[in-house]
Structure 1
Amino acid sequence: MELVNKELKYKKLIIGLSVAIPLAVAVLFGVKIEGYDFTFLPPIYATINGVTAVLLIAALAAIKKGKIKLHENLMKACIALSASFLVMYVLYHMTSESTPYGGEGAIRYVYFFILISHILLSIAVIPLVLFSFVRALSNQFDKHRKLARVTFPIWLYVAITGVVIYIMISPYYVH
């Protein structure tokens, strides 16, 4: 009975966070704070996405080799990196004007496809990561593995496309 109550508590919390985080980001995009210069952040948070992608792959390799503690530590690092990315991303957009993409022709469509899929999957990955994490922490490893098989490629795609988006838009940043 205790495990069922904990699962219900975490389920409500995860659903709440999965709704609150994207809503907060959307609302904060409308907030502009003048007088601060955080234009240095995009290459930092793009690097964080890249490091996250590398650590996700390392975590997969670790668990396949039976290195459970290493896997756990790498996954915690990925969650911390993703959270720090989110904070920096919001901070940048609250203090800087959005940079329009300046590419033309077919590459423009490629950019917007990557951007839109990145945004949609970054929203979807929040509950996937949190449920996967809670299932591992609560020793529900069969459920964790099943969900992680879905979560991993989505999270990896979001991390990699975050870097690709930065590379594609970086020539258009106003410095």
Structure 2
Amino acid sequence: MSKVDNLNSREKKFNKIITVVSIIVPVVVALLFGFKIPDAEPLSFLPPIYASINGLTAVFLIAAVVAIKNGKQKLHQNLMTTCIVFSLAFLVMYIAYHMTSESTSFGGEGVVKYIYLFILITHIILSIIIIPLVMKTYAKAYLKQYDAHRKLAKITFPIWLYVAVTGVVVYVMISPYYV
């Protein structure tokens, strides 16, 4: 098998995995969101933790861009891997919270409520879209397709940053209404 065929084969495998994960994660989250563990102790301490993880993700994303612009490829790689770990930790905590606690309704009114809903809806939609983008961007770097990685990262970075920052904003806006 030639080097090009091997690369194409590996990329096809990544693409299959990315497609499966990109479908399964939102579906599982949606299904688990409606499932409550009977008699479970509410994990009400989790929202500020996972909001903080979103904040750290945003900081690390920015640090990763600064690192790569300064030629620090290994630091960039480590920061981006950490961002993926943070995102996975967020997801696990978010699911655990919603499986043990009732959803909190936003109590604001008027324009503030519409701003909140806009931020929340765009956050949710983009958090679904970002899954395949992050995985594809990471795969391009892993496969040493750096030109393709850079092009895709220019799309992935601002969306991921928006999702991370709006995760914090949503938490700050809804936190006064937690029971």
TM-score range, shorter chain: over 0.9
- The number of aligned residues is 174
Which residue pairs with 1:173 in the alignment?
A: 178
Task: Specify the code of the residue in structure 2 equivalent to 1:81.
Answer: F
Deviation track 1:130-173 (CA, whole Å, cap 9, x = no partner) reads 00001001100000000000000000000000000000000000
Residue among 130, 137, 153 paired with 2:135: 130
**Aligned partners of 1:75 and 1:13: how far apart in 2?**
19
Structure 2 matches for 1:99-118, cutoff 5 A? 99-118=104-123
Structure 2 matches for 1:4-15, cutoff 5 A? 4-15=8-19
Task: Specify the code of the residue in structure 2 equivalent to 1:75.
Answer: M
Residue among 7, 16, 24 paired with 1:3: 7
Deviation at 1:30, TM superposition (A): 1.3
Deviation at 1:35, TM superposition (A): 2.0
Task: Specify the code of the residue in structure 1 equivalent to 2:95.
Answer: V
Identity of aligned residues (%): 61
Deviation at 1:37, TM superposition (A): 2.4
Deviation at 1:36, TM superposition (A): 2.0
Which residue pairs with 2:54 in the alignment?
A: 49
* TM-score normalised by the chain length of structure 2: 0.96
Task: Give 5+ residue unaligned stretches, structure 2.
Answer: none
**Aligned partners of 1:5 and 1:36: how far apart in 2?**
47
Task: Give 5+ residue unaligned stretches, structure 1.
Answer: none
Deviation track 1:76-105 (CA, whole Å, cap 9, x = no partner) reads 000000000000000000000000000001
Which residue pairs with 1:163 in the alignment?
A: 168
Secondary structure of 1:136's match? Answer: helix
**Aligned partners of 1:168 and 1:93: how far apart in 2?**
18
* TM-score normalised by the chain length of structure 1: 0.99
Secondary structure of 2:174's match? Answer: helix
Structure 2 matches for 1:6-85, cutoff 5 A? 6-33=10-37, 34-85=39-90
Which residue pairs with 1:140 in the alignment?
A: 145
Which residue pairs with 2:94 in the alignment?
A: 89
Please, what is the CA RMSD of the aligned residues? 0.5
Deviation at 1:74, TM superposition (A): 0.1
